[in-house]
Amino acid sequence: MVGANTIQSMYEDMVTARYYEERLQEVYLEGKQPAFDISAGTIPGELHLAAGHEAAAAGVCAHLRDEDTVTAPHRPHHVAIAKGVDLPRMTAEILGRETGLCKGKGGHMHLFDPDVNFACSGIIAQGCPPAVGAAMAAQKRNEDSVAVAYLGEGAVDQGAFLESLNLAALHDLPVVFVVEDNDWAISMPVERVTDVENTAERADGFDMPGVRVDHDDAVAVYEAARDAVGRARDGNGPTLLDVQVHRRMGHFMGDAEGYRPDEDQERAQRLDAIERLADDLREHGVDDAELNEIRETAEERVEDAIEWARDQPEPAPEDAYENVFVDGTAAASGGED
Amino acid sequence: MSKPASDPGTGGADRELTMSRAMVDAVAAEMRASDDVFYMGEDVQDYGGIFDSTEGLLEEFGRDRIMDVPISETAYVGAAVGAAQAGMRPIAEIMFADFVGVCLDQVYNQMAKNTYMSGGAVNVPMVLTTAVGGTYNDAAQHSQTLYGLFAHLPGMKVVVPSTAYDAKGLMHAAIRDDDPVVYMFHKRLMGIGWMPAPEGPKTPVPEEDYTIPLGEADMKREGSDVTVVTLGLHVHRALEAAEELAGDVDVEVIDLRTLVPFDTETVVDSVEKTGRLVVVDEDYQSFGVTGEVTARVAERALGSLEAVERVALPDVPVPYSRPLENEVNPGADDIVAAIESIK
For the stretch A127-152, what's the b/e string if a residue is b when 16 or more beta carbons lie within 10 angstroms of its beta carbon? bbbbbbbbbbebbeeeeebbbbbbbb
What is the CATH T-level fold of the domain A4-312, as seen in this structure?
Rossmann fold (3.40.50)
* Interchain proximity A107–B321, CB inside 8 Å: yes
- CA B73 to chain A, closest CA, distance in angstroms equals 8
Identify which of B2, B99, B135 has the shortest CB distance to residue A256: B2
Q: Compare A304 and A34 and report the one with higher pLDDT.
A: A304
* Interchain proximity B141–A321, CB inside 8 Å: no
* Closest residue in chain A to residue B143, using alpha carbons only: A45
Extents of the domains making up chain A: 4-312
Which residues between 125 and 154 in chain B have a beta carbon less than 8 angstroms from any beta carbon of chain A? 135-142
Taking the Cβ of residue B280 and every Cβ of chain A, the question of whether any pair is shorter than 8 Å is answered with no
Q: Do domains B16-204 and B218-342 have the same CATH topology?
A: yes
* Interchain proximity B71–A335, CB inside 8 Å: no
Q: Record the pTM.
A: 0.96
Q: Compare A330 and B337 and report the one with higher pLDDT.
A: B337
Sheet strands (E) in chain B: 16-17, 37-41, 66-68, 89-96, 127-132, 157-159, 181-186, 203-204, 218-221, 226-230, 251-255, 258-260, 276-284, 307-313
* Interchain proximity A334–B314, CB inside 8 Å: yes
Residues of B in contact with A336 (CB under 8 A): 314
- CATH code for the part of the protein at B16-204: 3.40.50.970
* Phi/psi at B186 (5° precision): -85, 125
CA–CA gap between residue A134 and residue A130 (Å, rounded):
6
Identify which of B2, B325, B327 has the shortest CB distance to residue A259: B2
* Interchain proximity B98–A123, CB inside 8 Å: yes
* Interchain proximity A331–B137, CB inside 8 Å: no
Angle separating helix axes A54-61 and A4-29, nearest 10 degrees: 140
pLDDT tens for chain B, 343 residues: list them: 345 555 666 666 679 999 999 999 999 999 999 999 999 999 999 999 999 999 999 999 999 999 999 999 999 999 999 999 999 999 999 999 999 999 999 999 999 999 999 999 999 999 999 999 999 999 999 999 999 999 999 999 999 999 999 999 999 999 999 999 999 999 999 999 999 999 999 999 999 999 999 999 999 999 999 999 999 999 999 999 999 999 999 999 999 999 999 999 999 999 999 999 999 999 999 999 999 999 999 999 999 999 999 999 999 999 999 999 999 999 999 999 999 999 8
- CA B194 to chain A, closest CA, distance in angstroms equals 5
Q: What is the pLDDT of residue A337?
A: 44
| Pick among 3.30.499.10, 3.40.50.920, 3.40.50.300, 2.40.30.110: CATH of B218-342 | 3.40.50.920
Taking the Cβ of residue A192 and every Cβ of chain B, the question of whether any pair is shorter than 8 Å is answered with yes
Which residues between 317 and 336 in chain B have a beta carbon less than 8 angstroms from any beta carbon of chain A? 317, 319-328
Residue B154 class from Cβ within 10 Å (0-12 exposed, 13-18 middle, 19+ buried)? exposed
Identify which of A36, A45, A192 has the shortest CB distance to residue B138: A45
Extents of the domains making up chain B: 16-204, 218-342
**Does residue A23 contact residue A306 with C-beta atoms inside 8 Å?**
yes
A119 forms bridges with which residues in the sheet? A71, A112
pLDDT in tens, A67-118: 999 999 999 999 999 999 999 999 999 999 999 999 999 999 999 999 999 9
Taking the Cβ of residue B291 and every Cβ of chain A, the question of whether any pair is shorter than 8 Å is answered with no
Is residue B172 part of the annotated active site? The answer reads no
